[in-house]
A = this chain, B = another copy of it.
């Protein structure tokens, strides 16, 4: 293993284990260089990459600190929620509320591009981080593309992991909105009913067509979406500040 990678893993484990909670100072470049018998630049590379990955924050003159843990997802990168939670050093668990086939309503049919009343798969799962619900995932799946969807144990594997293996993603669309959750969803998220939630409607395609239509609901108080763009100066582009 590369030396800088070994240093990254050492720090990652300190954070994941709870030894270094958020805001805790991380060893300096010089201290790590000494501890691992490497150059400061090698230690620095490890810290820089951890900063790039959001695990630590760096402050010139002050030091490196464990980053505050946020449920922030870069929605540009559609990721496995279990991996995100584990990467933050927390424990993932899931509660499955619904897992059945049923006739598609007009809206669901429209989204999945199947005929109304066609049988589709329907699942509702609450994803938890350290036992705290962070997302209710309601999902409709096209049975022709993923015939064995209902046969998986979604307490052991997320729909993401399964669907990714079965049918690689070629396309996705998102609609992001602020909503008041239904009483049921509020209950699953352990919320006061009036709390605003961020809801992502997501459709995904594979080469065979629309695979899933999902509604992902997150409590507003503990979830954000982030993104970062860079632009060239394009005369025709209408960017706003």
Contacts and interface: CB of A to CB of B under 8 A. Distances in A.
Interface of A: 12-13, 15-17, 52-53, 72-73, 75-81, 83, 158-160, 163-164, 167-180, 194-199, 204, 211-212, 214, 218, 220, 223-234, 237-241
Contacts of A228: 171-174
A199 B176 CA distance: 11
Nearest to A207: B233
A87 to B, nearest CB: 10
List the number of copies, as a whole number: 2
B239 A169 contact: yes
A211 to B, nearest CB: 6
A173 B204 contact: no
A211 B195 CA distance: 33
Contact of A172 (B13, B15, B194, B229): B229
A226 B200 CA distance: 9
Nearest to A41: B41
30 contacts: A72-B175, A72-B229, A76-B76, A78-B241, A79-B239, A79-B240, A80-B240, A159-B240, A163-B241, A164-B239, A168-B239, A169-B239, A170-B232, A171-B228, A172-B231, A173-B228, A174-B227, A174-B228, A175-B225, A175-B226, A176-B176, A176-B224, A177-B198, A177-B224, A178-B198, A178-B199, A179-B196, A180-B194, A195-B196, A196-B196
B241 A212 contact: yes
Contacts of A180: 194-196, 220
Given A196-B178, A220-B177, A80 B238 contact: yes
A75 B83 CA distance: 26
A174 B240 contact: no
A156 to B, nearest CB: 16
A178 B175 contact: no
Contact of A241 (B167, B175, B225): B167
A228 to B, nearest CB: 4
Contacts of A218: 178
A113 to B, nearest CB: 12
- Pick from A81, A226, A232 the residue with the most CB of B within 10 Å: A232
Contacts of A72: 175, 229
